[in-house]
């Protein structure tokens, strides 16, 4: 399957690509010209949303951070910065290990599960940028983290270690293709081997330290503290 993406091209520019534009003329143009949305009706050869905002946001980054909208496990992975995610993926315009580590921590997972809805046969949690991400009380405002702070560096190091170990398991050299197909993140987290659990615990400890909280908090205590921090900051913003 192919996706025809002309970005912000004019019709004259897009017409230089004869086969794609012919397909759109024959299969898309008529329906688009009846569309109630002015943008979709006028620029019938472009995607409904061109992805220009994301392209601008990731310019200069080496990679982007991704998480599925609906998933059994809340996992975060690195993706190519040229990738344009569809509605099933959330993309974050960050390429630093610290940010992956913070979002992949138990603290953010507890918050996202409490603020998510459920979807599908498996009743899997649905991540939402407005309820799960924008409301999450980060230890520092996103983009304003003190990069020379040992706590930021510790989270980054733990996140890097987690991803490296996980990638080594997902794609080990010399493994038969049939076996590689079984090596998915879902299967990995279903099994949750000791090395994976240990890597996550090291990451969680680093994130707890960033908040100045003890490492042995229950999920309920984590949620209560995050909620209190969220309300405290909301009150400060209104003052």
Q: What is the 3-state secondary structure (H, E, C) of 104-157?
A: CCHHHHHHHHHHCEEECCCCEEECCHHHHHCCCCCCCCCCCCCCCCHHHHHHHH
Residue 38 has what pLDDT?
A: 85
State the pLDDT at residue 100.
Answer: 98
C-alpha torsion sign, points 178, 180, 181, 182: positive
pLDDT at residue 52, rounded to an integer: 64
Q: Return the domain boundaries, the chain.
A: 1-50, 96-239
Categorize the per-residue pLDDT at 210 as very low, low, confident or very high, splitting at 50, 70 and 90: very high
Beta strand 124-126 with 89-92: parallel, antiparallel or unpaired? Answer: unpaired
Q: Which range (42-51, 62-71, 161-170, 209-218) has the least confidence?
A: 42-51
Q: Range with the lowest mean pLDDT among 11-25, 51-65, 179-193, 224-238?
A: 51-65
pLDDT of residue 179: 92
> Tokens standing for 1?
């399957």
Q: What is the arithmetic mean of pLDDT over 176-201?
A: 96
């Amino acid at each position: 399957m192919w996706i025809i993406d002309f970005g912000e091209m004019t019709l004259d520019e897009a017409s230089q690509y004869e086969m794609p534009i012919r397909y759109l003329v024959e299969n898309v143009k008529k329906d688009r010209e009846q569309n109630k949305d002015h943008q979709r009706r006028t620029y019938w050869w472009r995607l409904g949303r061109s992805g220009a905002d994301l392209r601008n946001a990731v310019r200069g980054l080496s990679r982007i951070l991704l998480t599925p909208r609906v998933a059994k496990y809340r996992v975060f992975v690195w993706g190519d910065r040229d990738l344009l995610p569809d509605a099933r993926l959330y993309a974050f315009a960050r390429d630093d290990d610290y940010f992956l580590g913070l979002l992949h921590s138990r603290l953010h997972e507890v918050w996202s599960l409490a603020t998510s809805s459920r979807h599908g046969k498996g009743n899997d949690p649905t991540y939402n940028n407005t309820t799960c991400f924008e409301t999450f009380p980060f230890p520092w405002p996103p983009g304003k983290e003190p990069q020379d702070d040992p706590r930021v560096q510790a989270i980054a190091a733990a996140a890097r270690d987690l991803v490296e170990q996980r990638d080594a398991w997902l794609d080990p050299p010399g493994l038969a293709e049939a076996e590689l197909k079984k090596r998915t993140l879902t299967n990995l987290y279903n099994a949750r081997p000791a090395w994976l659990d240990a890597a996550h615990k090291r990451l969680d400890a680093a994130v707890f330290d960033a908040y100045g909280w003890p490492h042995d908090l229950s999920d309920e205590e984590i949620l209560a503290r995050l909620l209190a921090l969220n309300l405290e900051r909301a009150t400060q913003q209104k003052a």
